[in-house]
A = this chain, B = another copy of it.
Amino acid sequence: MVPVLKIKGLSRSAARQALKDGEVTVAVYGLGKMGLPLALVLAEVGAKVVGVDIREDYVDELNRGVNPLREEPGVDDLLAKHLETGRFRATTNGVEASKKSDVIIALVPTLVDEFGIPNLTPLYDVVEVAAKGLEEGDIFILESTVPPGTSEKLGKRLEELSGLKMGEDFGVAHAPERTSSGRVIRDITESYPKIVGASDPETLESVVGFYEAVNKKGVIAVSSLAAAEAVKVFEGVYRDVNIALANELALYAEVMNIDVWEVIKAANTQPYCHIHNPGAGVGGHCIPVYPYFLIHTAGLNGLDMRILKVARRVNEEMPLHVAWLVVKALNELSRPVKGSRVLVLGFAYRPRVKEHMNTPAIPIVRRLEELGAQVYVYDPVYESEELKDMGFKPWAGEPVDVVVIVTEYDEFRDLILKRREGLKAAKALVDTRNLVGREEAERASYFFLKLGDGT
User: Does A352 reach chain B (CB closer than 8 Å)?
Assistant: no
Contact partner of A275 (CB less than 8 A), chosen from B193, B238, B297, is B238
CB distance from A189 to the nearest CB of B (A): 15
Please name all residues of chain B whose beta carbon is closer than 8 Å to the beta carbon of A223 when the two chains form the complex: 259, 262, 455
CB distance from A315 to the nearest CB of B (A): 10
The proximity string for A residues 130-148 relative to B, scoring 1 for CB distances below 8 Å and 0 otherwise, is 0000000000000000001
Q: A178-B270, A234-B249 are in contact. List 11 more A-B contacts (CB 8 A).
A: A222-B263, A226-B256, A226-B258, A237-B245, A241-B245, A241-B307, A252-B298, A252-B305, A255-B298, A256-B297, A256-B298
Residues of A within 8 A of B (CB): 148-149, 178, 192-193, 195, 220, 222-224, 226-228, 230-232, 234-235, 237-239, 241-242, 244-245, 248-249, 251-253, 255-260, 262-264, 266-267, 269-275, 294, 297-298, 301-303, 305-308, 310-311, 313-314, 455
Please name all residues of chain B whose beta carbon is closer than 8 Å to the beta carbon of A248 when the two chains form the complex: 305-308
Across the interface, do A271 and B192 meet the contact criterion of CB distance under 8 Å? Answer: yes
Q: How many copies does the complex hold?
A: 2
Across the interface, do B301 and A238 meet the contact criterion of CB distance under 8 Å? Answer: no
CB distance from A318 to the nearest CB of B (A): 13
Please name all residues of chain B whose beta carbon is closer than 8 Å to the beta carbon of A231 when the two chains form the complex: 263, 266-267
Contact partner of A235 (CB less than 8 A), chosen from B195, B238, B270, B301, is B270
For the complex, give the distance between the alpha carbons of A51 and B376 in Å. Answer: 63
- Quick one: given A263-B227, A269-B193, A275-B234, are A252 and B222 in contact (CB under 8 Å)? no
Contact partner of A306 (CB less than 8 A), chosen from B234, B237, B314, is B314
Please name all residues of chain B whose beta carbon is closer than 8 Å to the beta carbon of A249 when the two chains form the complex: 234, 237, 294
Q: Whose C-beta in chain B lies nearest to the C-beta of A148?
A: B256
- Quick one: given A255-B301, A274-B238, are A266 and B314 in contact (CB under 8 Å)? no
Contact partner of A266 (CB less than 8 A), chosen from B149, B222, B307, is B222
For the complex, give the distance between the alpha carbons of A352 and B45 in Å. Answer: 52
Return 30 A-B CB contacts under 8 Å, by A number. Answer: A148-B256, A223-B455, A224-B257, A227-B258, A227-B259, A227-B262, A227-B263, A230-B253, A230-B256, A230-B260, A231-B267, A234-B249, A234-B275, A237-B249, A238-B267, A238-B273, A239-B272, A241-B245, A241-B307, A242-B242, A245-B307, A248-B308, A252-B294, A252-B303, A255-B298, A255-B302, A255-B303, A306-B314, A307-B311, A310-B310
Q: Which of A248, A255, A274 has the most CB of B within 10 A?
A: A248
For the complex, give the distance between the alpha carbons of A229 and B174 in Å. Answer: 46
Q: Whose C-beta in chain B lies nearest to the C-beta of A147?
A: B256
Across the interface, do A270 and B192 meet the contact criterion of CB distance under 8 Å? Answer: yes
Q: Whose C-beta in chain B lies nearest to the C-beta of A244?
A: B307
Please name all residues of chain B whose beta carbon is closer than 8 Å to the beta carbon of A270 when the two chains form the complex: 178, 192, 235
Across the interface, do B234 and A264 meet the contact criterion of CB distance under 8 Å? Answer: yes
Q: Which of A232, A256, A263, A314 has the most CB of B within 10 A?
A: A263
CB distance from A264 to the nearest CB of B (A): 7
Please name all residues of chain B whose beta carbon is closer than 8 Å to the beta carbon of A305 when the two chains form the complex: 248, 252
CB distance from A332 to the nearest CB of B (A): 20
Please name all residues of chain B whose beta carbon is closer than 8 Å to the beta carbon of A220 when the two chains form the complex: 266, 269
Please name all residues of chain B whose beta carbon is closer than 8 Å to the beta carbon of A256 when the two chains form the complex: 148-149, 226, 230, 297-298, 301
Q: Whose C-beta in chain B lies nearest to the C-beta of A272?
A: B239
Please name all residues of chain B whose beta carbon is closer than 8 Å to the beta carbon of A269 when the two chains form the complex: 192-193, 195, 220
Q: Whose C-beta in chain B lies nearest to the C-beta of A266?
A: B231
For the complex, give the distance between the alpha carbons of A275 and B232 in Å. Answer: 12
For the complex, give the distance between the alpha carbons of A264 and B195 in Å. Answer: 12
For the complex, give the distance between the alpha carbons of A259 and B264 in Å. Answer: 32
For the complex, give the distance between the alpha carbons of A133 and B249 in Å. Answer: 38
Across the interface, do A307 and B314 meet the contact criterion of CB distance under 8 Å? Answer: yes
For the complex, give the distance between the alpha carbons of A260 and B242 in Å. Answer: 19
For the complex, give the distance between the alpha carbons of A308 and B244 in Å. Answer: 10
Across the interface, do B230 and A258 meet the contact criterion of CB distance under 8 Å? Answer: yes
Contact partner of A273 (CB less than 8 A), chosen from B235, B252, B255, is B235
Across the interface, do A224 and B258 meet the contact criterion of CB distance under 8 Å? Answer: yes
For the complex, give the distance between the alpha carbons of A260 and B298 in Å. Answer: 14
- Quick one: given A237-B245, A258-B148, A273-B238, are A303 and B251 in contact (CB under 8 Å)? yes
Across the interface, do A274 and B271 meet the contact criterion of CB distance under 8 Å? Answer: no
Please name all residues of chain B whose beta carbon is closer than 8 Å to the beta carbon of A242 when the two chains form the complex: 241-242
